[in-house]
Structure 1
């Protein structure tokens, strides 16, 4: 039976046509205070090298500014340039570049260099940005950030192809610009960050972009409806509906003992949720969003307990290989093409690395 949202949108659900699913890693949020920034980078390097050896698809690198939540990822291009020479096949993707904060030519220059250095292993994900403080880098772009993002992605694609684009220059003059060095790949593969908005999924489909998303306040059933919207939009735009890639971020910890997994992830995951919640509340307060207020301690603890239980049971890759496979199967049934495994959310680094062979077993089941 169609869900009420499907009926409202007039979109028929699709049976996923792909029998395979890709696996990648995502680095996003390390908020540990008991290790140095250097150790965080070394952990990221070790996981990336594991992914490169074991046939994972990509590593996703975020852009974060002016907050302890993700602060080690201030420049994803620099992070990629550190990892590229230590790898041979893994792809480097952003999740994503906050486009309104940057000139399009700057984005292409930085990532064309990395495309050359990696032998053509760069893809780019883009977002409009959300943290109020980030826009000290581009104060005039905050209010129209979504429109700015939508306008600049095609310009980035043009520059990547080697086309000349005219920009405002000094003294009121316009200047046609072509970007060098030229990247290895003639076309740029684009991901768009879409958290909740149905219209965001529709827009990404219409533009022919891939999608990076997360279970932010909803479940896989609701995600399936949004993926149906995305596929339908691609089809209406004259594109092959199933060629678009939908990447889903999932917090990940797979091991032989489910009790050990819960013991390893519970407190770090709650701290992660708390840090994320504070960042979003602060952004809402800074932007003067109505009803954005600090939570009381009791309310916060209640919310953390609920969020942990919901995500741990229905929105994460936690548990044994068998338990993980059940979640992967559900994601595939929803139309997901790739899972980006988030492992730097506060769990002890050694525990994460010791558990990676179990994740490898899970991934092997889908090859």
Structure 2
């Protein structure tokens, strides 16, 4: 993961340098007397993903236009002082707010008003150059970002979800071992700690998966990875269900353990069921490392058939008592996995 972050930073540095150089020259070609404004837009518009860059670029252009329209006429007729600058910013940003623009636009309006307020007196072309150069810089930044190593976090997301599925597999195995071999020995605290740690890592993985999904938007080379992201999103939902299930049955077993009412044959049966979940998630974790063109759906169908057979084999019991709570929770969880 750290190696990939370093690689992303290196690519960003190259993009920033190349796009800034090109935008400066293009700005000069279109007649700008302030070509440095184009690289300024490049630096600001190169965001983490292409989607975020497009979003920021649009809002930057809108904010710049609003700021220019609001300021260029008044600046030559007003005295230049802090109070007047504040009033112009107040009016411009409230116009953007009235137009229901994003907060990013408010910042761009304020910056544009500030720069025009200062520079328009000395250079009558500054306001128009700011609009043109902002568009030039934003467009070039987007083109470079889209076609020169566009951001793609699919592999990191798949690896993260894969690690989580193997981690939840280990927790299922830990619970199974507790039920079968360590019943009555106060193992529940260790299991609960494992589940809590998993919940924290689950939250981190969800954030990474969300970033990976966004990185494919407007990515011309990201189409082949959309299937992998879809698989990861599907497995993430199962991981959330697995966490809920483990939290529920662990609480049941913890209370059950205090009364030591679990019989040896029940320990073996319930431990086997939990162990089967461990095997299921271990297989899913391994399958996530397979690329879309090599994915064998028959293997997934086999896993589901095994789960379905286990569902049919569960005893029919009421919800009353510890045993009923376990089997009802297990039956519901199996239905969600199938």
TM-score w.r.t. the length of structure 2 is 0.20
Greater Rg by CA: 2
Give the structure with the larger helix fraction.
Answer: 2
Give the structure with the larger strand fraction.
Answer: 1
